[in-house]
């Protein structure tokens, strides 16, 4: 206890007891402790510790089950975990998943991601994934660890496939954030953390690759606190490091473990090494303080100075008490316990699985909300119960061997094979033809699934993000956040007889992946595909070739520019046309102005007319006209964003005014004001993180400057330098080849979309000239 009193000063002020608890202790007749014993007893003979525990038990009795949840639900779901494994590329997510499947008995042999046996990891079932050694599609599986049923989704680490992470986190209850012990918190780690925050996903962290030279888990934890702003602390310390990594010490229980057997399958408890005793107590104290900062029940064990003069607890915080406090803090999104190990060397995975059971939520611990479509999308808390109405979300589509495979998370009720259910997005009633559990690309038929399950359904036409309910329910789950594509390519099949398969492939890919878009260029007649980056589009072109036997001709990559205005401008436009019979007449007056930076919408329309200068029934037509006008700007024909249009006046004709007249008037009015509003072109700027040996630092920075990039910072990491820069996407094509040649093949980089920013004056002149020349040539 004395050591606890030396904890953080802020905790001393919390005190041991609330007023009610003090009253209970006093009522038991406690007297001040004699200096010689340091203990106090009640008239009933109870020790102070027993009395306090009894009072705590009364004050913090187990909460009642949530409304709508039955004891049957509790029995069925309290040992279920729906988790995802997410991280920066090459942090070891798929290797970790492979070990989890092996130790839980789902697979009987370990295969490496880039293994020489040519088999590849179980969860990388696509040929492309095995060839490239990366995860492209999230893969689902399930396993059992001791008494816990675990549904796992292994997600890609490459930023081009960020939608796979986004939709997995949308439906999961908890996650494992994997970090490399050498690379630490990297760019995609920050993106994944942001996605976890967006969906309020509790997480544990796993610092992987402790067997690598230069491994430093304490540096990674510091980066988690500084870069990710997480309240994180280790729950383990390693026994040995790098090549000599032998085992781990659990700080919660003060026990040490070694991993024996050819694949580390035997977890053996051993005495804590003498040279680690002091560090164990110091790190445990740090863990207790970090948890106590966010957990009131644990904080109460930090005695204030006044009470400490009278009472001394017989024991400090024990393992069970600390474990419960960590679980409460993780579920409240206030703490991240950090596990350690090496998945490749089979160290620490079983203890991480124990941590998943101990600290991550069951479906009962998570609040899920639906929108009631009958009550203007009012937010409704959805109990995770078999007895509730059926509510299931389709979060991922895949073309399987037997038709479309729809991955679903069931939030409420029971889904049975043969049931009639309703797709809330289009009102269509469908029959469930086949239900399966997924194990990577293998299927296991089931007859029913209930609240808390993640399953797949065959032969149902739907889109990603659709909600399925029973006939009497009008609830819908909130949709998934989909980022805008940043890059486009013109594609066409090389042979005419491949056109049908080409269309089939594009239709399938757009249904599967919301970030993959297809459009026709009205002027050139070309098919334009858009996505999140070079690798993203390259993968789809390769899949067309392999899965649909379509060879594509690919045009030069095209950046998805945007246009915007920089100042307010007025418009006053009269659309008047008379050519026999009913004419067209519509006049709109008002102004356009830029929306403030960071505004959540890209276009805003406001009706500022006082009176009925424009009849109210024509106002929607005006808005429609302005919305169509912003689809193509006048500088280079790209969409206009960040604009607010306000109409203040207008005029209508009793006979000649119509919706079409006001729609056309609005479109021409926008064009009239656009030139006067100082329009600019916006280009996508990428956040680029480059890692290269120190000796190439000057060359790499010089090349970034040549590409019109801005260096945001750099830091040393052993013999490497990590450079952060913001670079226009248009300058990043072919960068991987350039970086390899600059650094003798030793450099690597990752990039993700940062924002659209104005281009320089000379670039704007050049882009505008090219656009005018292309239009003239098309005519």
For 43-76, the DSSP string reads: TT--BHHHHHHHHHHHHTPPPPPPTT--HHHHHH
Binding residues: 87-94, 154-158, 208-211
Give 66-71 contacts, CB < 8 A, sequence gap 24+.
66/364, 66/383, 67/383, 68/383, 68/385, 68/387, 68/388, 69/364, 69/383, 69/384, 69/385, 70/385, 70/386, 70/387
Terminal-to-terminal C-alpha distance of the chain? 85
Angle at the Cα of 232 (from 231 to 233), degrees rounded to 5?
Answer: 135
Do the bridges between strand 527-531 and strand 517-520 make them parallel or antiparallel, or are there none, so unpaired? antiparallel
Classified by CATH at the fold level, domain 487-559 comes out as Alpha-Beta Plaits (3.30.70)
Tell the CATH topology of 682-763.
Alpha-Beta Plaits (3.30.70)
CA-CA-CA-CA torsion sign (106, 110, 113, 116): negative
The closest alpha carbon to 552, from 507, 485, 489, belongs to: 489
CATH 3.40.50.300 residue ranges of the chain are 79-271+332-361
The tokens describing 114, both together, are 């880039």
- Give the pairing type, strands 148-154 and 80-87: parallel
| Predicted TM-score (pTM) of this structure | 0.66
Q: Output the CA angle 704-706-708, nearest 5 degrees.
A: 75
Structure tokens at 568: 């307010």
Is it true that domain 79-271+332-361 has CATH number 3.40.50.300? yes
- Per DSSP, the three-state class of 572 is strand
Please list the residue range(s) of the chain that carry CATH number 3.30.70.240.
682-763
**pLDDT for res 479:** 64
Q: In the chain, which stretches have pLDDT less than 70?
A: 1-68, 108-139, 154-162, 164-165, 167, 302-315, 399-402, 439-441, 479-481, 522-524, 579-581, 779
Instruction: Report pLDDT digits (tens) over 333-361.
Output: 999 999 999 888 888 899 999 999 999 99
Q: Where in the chain is the domain with CATH 2.40.30.10?
A: 368-477
Give the angle 742-748-751 at the CA atoms, nearest 5°: 115
Q: Is 408 in contact with 454 (CB distance < 8 Å)?
A: yes
Binding-site residue numbers for GTP are: 87-94, 154-158, 208-211
Domain with CATH 3.30.230.10 in the chain: 563-678
Tell me what pLDDT residue 164 has. Answer: 67
CATH of domain 368-477: 2.40.30.10
Quick one: which H or E segment has residue 430? strand 429-431
pLDDT for the residue numbered 29: 42
Q: What is the pLDDT of residue 189?
A: 81
Give kind and range of the element (H or E) at residue 464.
none
Of 725, 702, 729, whose CA–CA distance to 713 is shortest? 725
For residue 381, which of 402, 404, 364 has the smallest C-alpha distance? 364
- Segments of the chain assigned to CATH 3.30.70.870: 487-559
Position 50 scores a pLDDT of 47
Tokens (6 digits) for 210: 């402790």
684 Cβ contact partners less than 8 Å away, ≥ 6 residues apart: 486, 487, 559, 560, 561, 728, 729, 753, 754, 755, 756
Distance CA 466, CA 476 (A): 8
Q: Which CATH number fits domain 563-678: 3.40.50.300, 3.30.230.10, 3.30.450.40, 2.60.40.10?
A: 3.30.230.10
């Amino acid at each position: 206890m004395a050591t606890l009193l030396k904890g953080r000063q802020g905790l001393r002020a919390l005190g041991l007891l609330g007023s009610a608890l003090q009253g209970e202790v006093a009522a038991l007749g406690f007297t001040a402790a004699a200096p010689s014993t340091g203990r106090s007893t009640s008239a009933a003979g109870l020790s102070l510790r027993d009395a306090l525990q009894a009072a705590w038990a009364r004050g913090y009795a187990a909460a009642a089950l949530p409304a709508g949840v039955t004891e049957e639900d509790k029995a069925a779901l309290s040992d279920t975990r729906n988790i995802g494994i997410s991280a920066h590329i090459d942090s070891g997510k798929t290797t970790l998943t492979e070990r989890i499947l092996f130790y839980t008995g789902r697979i009987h042999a370990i295969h490496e991601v880039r293994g020489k046996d040519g088999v590849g990891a179980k969860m990388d079932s696509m040929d492309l994934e095995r060839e490239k050694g990366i995860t492209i599609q999230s893969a689902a599986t399930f396993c059992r660890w001791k008494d816990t049923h675990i549904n796992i989704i292994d997600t890609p680490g490459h930023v081009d496939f960020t939608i796979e992470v986004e939709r997995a986190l949308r439906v999961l209850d908890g996650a494992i954030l994997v970090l490399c012990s050498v690379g630490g918190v990297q760019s995609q780690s920050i993106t994944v953390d942001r996605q976890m925050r967006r969906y309020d996903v509790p997480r544990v962290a796993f610092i992987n690759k402790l067997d690598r030279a230069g491994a430093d888990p304490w540096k990674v934890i510091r980066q988690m606190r500084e870069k990710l702003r997480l309240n994180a602390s280790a729950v383990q310390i390693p026994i040995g490091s790098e090549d000599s990594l032998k085992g781990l010490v659990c700080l919660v229980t003060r026990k040490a473990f070694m991993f024996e057997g050819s694949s580390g399958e035997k977890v053996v408890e051993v005495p804590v090494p003498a040279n680690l005793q002091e560090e164990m107590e110091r790190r445990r104290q740090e863990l207790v303080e970090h948890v106590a900062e966010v957990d009131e029940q644990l904080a109460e064990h930090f005695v204030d100075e006044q009470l400490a003069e009278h009472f001394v607890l017989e024991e400090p915080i024990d393992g069970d008490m600390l474990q419960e406090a960590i679980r409460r803090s993780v579920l409240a999104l206030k703490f991240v316990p950090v596990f350690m190990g090496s998945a490749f060397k089979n160290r620490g995975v079983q203890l991480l699985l124990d941590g998943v059971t101990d600290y991550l939520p069951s479906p009962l611990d998570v609040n899920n909300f639906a929108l009631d479509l009958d009550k203007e999308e009012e937010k409704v808390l959805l109990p995770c119960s078999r007895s509730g109405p059926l509510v299931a979300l389709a979060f991922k589509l895949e073309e399987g061997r037997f038709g479309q495979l729809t991955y679903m998370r069931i939030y409420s009720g029971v889904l049975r094979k043969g049931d009639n259910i309703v797709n809330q997005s289009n009102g269509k009633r469908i029959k469930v033809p086949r239900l399966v559990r997924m194990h990577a690309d293998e299927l296991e038929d089931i007859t029913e699934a209930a609240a808390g399950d993640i399953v797949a359904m065959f032969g149902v036409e739907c889109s990603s993000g659709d909600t399925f309910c029973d006939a009497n329910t009008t609830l819908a789950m909130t949709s998934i956040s989909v980022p805008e594509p940043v890059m486009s390519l013109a594609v066409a099949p090389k042979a005419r007889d491949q056109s049908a398969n080409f269309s089939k492939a594009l239709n399938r890919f757009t249904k599967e992946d919301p970030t993959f878009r297809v459009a026709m260029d009205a002027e050139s007649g070309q098919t334009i595909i858009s996505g999140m980056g070079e690798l993203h589009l390259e993968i789809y072109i390769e899949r067309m070739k392999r899965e649909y036997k379509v060879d594509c001709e690919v045009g030069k990559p095209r950046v998805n520019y945007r246009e915007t205005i920089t100042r307010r401008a007025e418009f006053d436009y009269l659309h008047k046309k008379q050519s026999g019979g009913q004419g067209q007449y519509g006049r709109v007056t008002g102004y356009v102005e830029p929306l403030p930076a960071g505004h959540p919408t890209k276009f805003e329309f406001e009706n500022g007319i006082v009176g009925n200068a424009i009849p109210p029934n024509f106002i929607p037509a005006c808005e429609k006209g302005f919305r169509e006008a912003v689809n193509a700007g006048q500088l280079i024909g790209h969409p206009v964003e960040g604009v607010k249009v306000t109409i203040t006046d207008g005029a209508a004709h009793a006979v000649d005014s119509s919706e079409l007249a006001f729609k056309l008037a609005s479109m021409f009015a926008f064009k009239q004001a656009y030139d006067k509003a100082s329009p600019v072109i916006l280009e996508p700027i990428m956040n680029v993180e480059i890692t290269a040996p120190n000796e190439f630092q000057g060359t790499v920075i010089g090349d970034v400057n040549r590409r019109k990039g801005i260096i945001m910072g750099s830091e040393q990491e052993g013999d490497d330098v990590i450079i952060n820069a913001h670079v226009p996407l248009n300058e990043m094509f072919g960068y991987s080849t350039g970086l390899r040649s600059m650094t003798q093949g030793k450099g690597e980089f990752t990039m993700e979309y940062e924002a659209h920013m104005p281009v320089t004056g000379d670039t704007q002149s050049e882009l505008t000239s090219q656009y005018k020349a292309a239009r003239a040539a098309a005519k």
